[in-house]
Structure 1
Amino acid sequence: MFSRLIYQDASLEIRFPNELEAPLHFDAIHTSIREIGVWESWCSENYCLEDSRQYLLDSYVKRQRGQEYRFCLYELDSGRIVGSVAINRIVPEYKTANIGYWIRSDSTGRSLAVTAVKAIARFAFDELGMTRLEIVAMSGNLRSCRVAEKSGAVSEGLHRNRLYLRGQPRDAWVYSLIPGDLP
């Protein structure tokens, strides 16, 4: 069994969320629909509190099965959720996975995503035994690319039709992290 907490400093903690925190999760997404929704089709005006509750329940189930590990970033002074980071698309036989993240719109520009990527990468390497992690950032998502670069990930180029958004194929930058990339 893994520790719920993968990072903590004087102002932030990154840990597994629980179903009771659905209102906090919903608030973070609801206030960020305009910015996150550009890159993520699940993030739209139709997103509701029940979606957050179901997401958090699903997170628990997938974690128990070893399919996915989703964490939330909590601002310690306010108690707010200010973002999310996850290990997903795990391929156990190759010891690879993807990292995904988003930050609440009113909390960007504080290097929270960089902190989260480094913390979850350390978790993936140390606790899950992964040997390669990928960050896949849609072409044009300069903020996500910058997070990958600041996290120490290596760009492996622009991959054509790598992602889908609202039913359309999109090019995406692929970055990789291996254990030696982290200090």
Structure 2
Amino acid sequence: MIPRQIYRDQQIEIRVPLEQEADQLFSAIYSSRHEIGQWENWCTDSMTLKDTQRFLHDSDHKRHKGSEFNFNLFEIATGRVIGGAAINNISHENKIANVGYWIHSQFTGRSLAPLAVKYISEFAFNRLSLTRLEIVMMEENHRSRRVAEKIGATAEGLHRNRLYYHGKPRHAWVFSIIPGDILCLEYFGLQD
């Protein structure tokens, strides 16, 4: 059985969002849409609550099929959605997948993305038996690159035309994590 929750401490919970939480998720994404939308095709000014409801419905279906796993970060005190992390583009045949993440604009700079990457990686290796995760970000996305560097992911270089963003190919940095890599959260004041 696939767990809905992959992490919880006194302040943060990382778990699968419920369809009833669509309003909270939409609010978090929409209020951060300018920052997230710089790097993600799916995040635009035209997104609606119905899009978020559809995403959550589709996400639940994909989770049950084992084709994609989407989690959100919740602030325990308020119940607010403050970020997201996902395992997508899964190739079960090759045992690899991509890891993606975003953090609400009001919560950046708190090492939440490295925390999410650590626990979503453990989930991917321990529960899904994957053997390689890739973090891929556009060349200019310095914040995302810093997250990958913070956790100790291995930089594998700048790949030409690796991503497609708003109708144009874009160069992207590729970082990898494999089982046995020691993710460096302790250095950044984060605990297991």
Interval containing the TM-score (normalised by the shorter chain): over 0.9
Q: Distance in 2 between matches of 1:141 and 1:29?
A: 18
> What one-letter code is carried by the residue in structure 1 that aligns with 2:40?
E
Q: How much has 1:96 moved relative to structure 2?
A: 0.4
Q: Distance in 1 between matches of 2:152 and 2:121?
A: 11
Q: 1:118–1:182: 8 Å Cα contact kept in structure 2?
A: no
Aligned length: 183
> What one-letter code is carried by the residue in structure 2 that aligns with 1:125?
F
Structure 1 unaligned segments of length 5 or more: list them.
none
Q: Distance in 1 between matches of 2:132 and 2:41?
A: 26
CA offsets, 1:48-79, max 9 Å, x none? 11111111111100001110000000000111
Matched, 1:110 2:110: yes
Q: Percent identity?
A: 56
CA offsets, 1:83-110, max 9 Å, x none? 1000001111111000011011111000
Q: How much has 1:156 moved relative to structure 2?
A: 0.0
2:6 is paired with a residue of what secondary structure?
strand
CA offsets, 1:127-163, max 9 Å, x none? 0001100000110000000111112210000000000
Q: Distance in 1 between matches of 2:122 and 2:182?
A: 8
Q: Distance in 1 between matches of 2:38 and 2:106?
A: 16
Q: Distance in 1 between matches of 2:3 and 2:157?
A: 35
1:22-171 equivalences in 2 (<5 Å): 22-171=22-171
Q: 1:6–1:14: 8 Å Cα contact kept in structure 2?
A: yes
Q: How much has 1:18 moved relative to structure 2?
A: 1.2
Structure 2 unaligned segments of length 5 or more: list them.
184-192
1:79 is paired with a residue of what secondary structure?
coil
Q: How much has 1:182 moved relative to structure 2?
A: 2.9
| CA RMSD of superposed structures (Å) | 0.7
2:180 is paired with a residue of what secondary structure?
helix
> What one-letter code is carried by the residue in structure 2 that aligns with 1:108?
T
TM-score by structure 1 length?
A: 0.98
